[in-house]
Amino acid sequence: MKTSFPFLLLVVTFLFVNSDFIKAQAVNDPSALPVFTATGPITLDGRLLEVDWAVNVPHLRYRIGGTPSGNSNTPTAFAIVKPPYRDTSTCFVKFLRRDTLLYFSLDSDDKQVCRFDWEGDGMFMKIVNAAGTEVEYKIYVGVVNNVPQFVYETNGPANSGAGAGYAKPGTTIYDSTNTDNGYSAELMINLKALGFNTVPDSIRLLINIFDPDNYSLGVPPWGPNGNYAKQWWGSEWGGTYRRLALRNVPVPVEFTSFTAKYEGNSVRLQWSTATEINNRGFEIQRSVDGSEFATIGFIEGRGTTTIPQRYNFVDNNISPSREYSYRLKQIDFDGTATYSDVFNLGLSSPLDFELYQNYPNPFNPSTKISFSLPTDSFVELEVLNILGQKVTSLMNNKLNAGKHTVDFDASSLSAGVYIYTLKVADNNNTKVISKKMTLVK
């Protein structure tokens, strides 16, 4: 027996953005990715504590054998440098810009954070400067004075960048017990130091992510244990580049949640945001039984903020037994607007309880029985044979208002006509309704 409750709380997460990049499905080896402007300063400590890093915009997801999905694009290619490579980890690479400072973040769930010879877990990158010359930047696990730590390196100008890595709680660098909780890192490049006096429309670069496993201090890189894999976007060491589009687009309004539920003859909508940029507010739009959307209310936004915000709206104009759909229209101060996805809240509560004809009917060996309740009620749903004798009980408990569906499996019964009866106790009143169904074998 299976019961569904479509009237219960529905939770949907949306991301509203002002960029065509976001609307496109992630792909393998994208030729370009956008870089959004940060809403505040970024502290280069490797911890990724700034709210901008949490916004779900297009990024790269490095994982051997990974597939693109959502906003997670996959890199160009990979190589297993030292097999067998078993401990596959995932590393997310994101991008932000603040004035002429370009930021990169790494967020990895690596269970063994360590080093392979001169390279270690982290990133090797080449970027093409304003003169058309390659400049290298690295942030990776290394050893300084026999102390394992994250190392930043570049062959570019001394003031052209900086980097920091962070071992997440539970991670011990160079511990090969397969119990680490991963690492995160940040890298900053000053575009002015690379000859860009103004922010260019785009830059060319390649990104190589390293993932060695099963190494500890004193273990030789080509010894009997340990393995090593790497993936790259563009080419492995140079010559083939991808592009970052440095668009003057702020990190968008990000919806962390959007919920809707029936409350009697009303619908309560609630949503929250992680960040907002120039947000004038939200139009609440509703469709009834698949008709066109109409605006039924407006809630003012918070303008520009990096502090999480919560919003609430109640639609009191609800009719019984109608199917309602909602969406939000987010409007900027300049008039730019974006829409959330549409979702269907399901049927509203009926004026009276209803028992629907089972489907399919006739059936063999299973069918679905549906009914609707106008209020929270105690429900008994039974199946009787043609003589009025009870065959089975499908429901005997209290349910919330709304539409319910029960699966009835009659595999053990003989073919024939059966009666299903719904008994509802509501405010000391008891109502009973029955219908026939036919089992064929």
Least confident of 14-18, 202-206, 309-313: 14-18
Asked if pLDDT for residue 130 goes beyond 90, the answer is yes
pLDDT band for position 349 (cuts 50, 70, 90): low
8 located within any domain: no
Asked if pLDDT for residue 208 goes beyond 50, the answer is yes
155 located within any domain: yes
Same-domain pairing of 175 and 207: yes
User: Which residues are CB-contacts of 215 (< 8 A; sequence separation ≥ 6)?
Assistant: 112, 114, 115, 116, 174, 176, 221, 225, 226
The whole-angstrom separation of Cα 385 and Cα 124 is: 74
Core vs surface per residue 65-86: b (16+ CB within 10 A) or e:
ebebeebbbbbbebeebbeebe
Asked if pLDDT for residue 87 goes beyond 90, the answer is no
| Bigger pLDDT: 405 vs 22 | 405
Residue 296, number of CB atoms within 10 A of its CB: 15
Asked if pLDDT for residue 25 goes beyond 70, the answer is no
Same-domain pairing of 259 and 375: no
| Chosen domain end from 347, 369, 386 | 347
Asked if pLDDT for residue 410 goes beyond 70, the answer is yes
Parent domain of 268: 253-347
Same-domain pairing of 426 and 312: no
- Check which CATH number belongs to the domain holding 396 and give it: 2.60.40.2550
85 located within any domain: yes
Q: What is the mean pLDDT of residues 204-222?
A: 93
pLDDT band for position 1 (cuts 50, 70, 90): very low
pLDDT band for position 251 (cuts 50, 70, 90): low
pLDDT band for position 14 (cuts 50, 70, 90): very low
**Structure-token match 């987010």, residue found:** 330
15 located within any domain: no
Asked if pLDDT for residue 335 goes beyond 70, the answer is yes
204 located within any domain: yes
Asked if pLDDT for residue 215 goes beyond 60, the answer is yes
396 located within any domain: yes
Same-domain pairing of 65 and 93: yes
Asked if pLDDT for residue 7 goes beyond 60, the answer is no
Least confident of 4-18, 221-235, 268-282, 401-415: 4-18
| Chosen domain end from 319, 347, 375 | 347
Same-domain pairing of 334 and 368: no
Q: What is the mean pLDDT of residues 86-94?
A: 92
Q: Which amino acid is at 412?
A: S
| Chosen domain end from 293, 318, 347 | 347
Same-domain pairing of 384 and 283: no
Same-domain pairing of 335 and 392: no
Instruction: Give the pLDDT of residue 20.
Output: 42
Average pLDDT of the residues of the chain: 87
CA-wise closest residue to 6 among 344, 259, 252 = 344
Q: Which amino acid is at 278?
A: N
Instruction: Give the pLDDT of residue 428.
Output: 67
Q: Looking at the whole model, is its pTM more than 0.85?
A: no
Same-domain pairing of 273 and 185: no
User: Which residues are CB-contacts of 82 (< 8 A; sequence separation ≥ 6)?
Assistant: 116, 212, 221, 222, 226, 227, 228
- Check which CATH number belongs to the domain holding 287 and give it: 2.60.40.10
Instruction: Give the pLDDT of residue 15.
Output: 37
Least confident of 97-111, 125-139, 156-170, 345-359: 345-359
52 located within any domain: yes
Instruction: Give the pLDDT of residue 23.
Output: 44
Instruction: Give the pLDDT of residue 249.
Output: 60
- DSSP state, 76? S
Same-domain pairing of 66 and 169: yes
Tell me how far CA of residue 41 lies from CA of 48, 51, 53, 338, 401, in angstroms: 12, 11, 12, 27, 49
| Bigger pLDDT: 344 vs 66 | 66
Structural domain count, the chain:
3
Same-domain pairing of 289 and 322: yes
Same-domain pairing of 292 and 399: no
333 located within any domain: yes
- Check which CATH number belongs to the domain holding 204 and give it: 2.60.40.1190
Asked if pLDDT for residue 325 goes beyond 60, the answer is yes
Same-domain pairing of 215 and 262: no
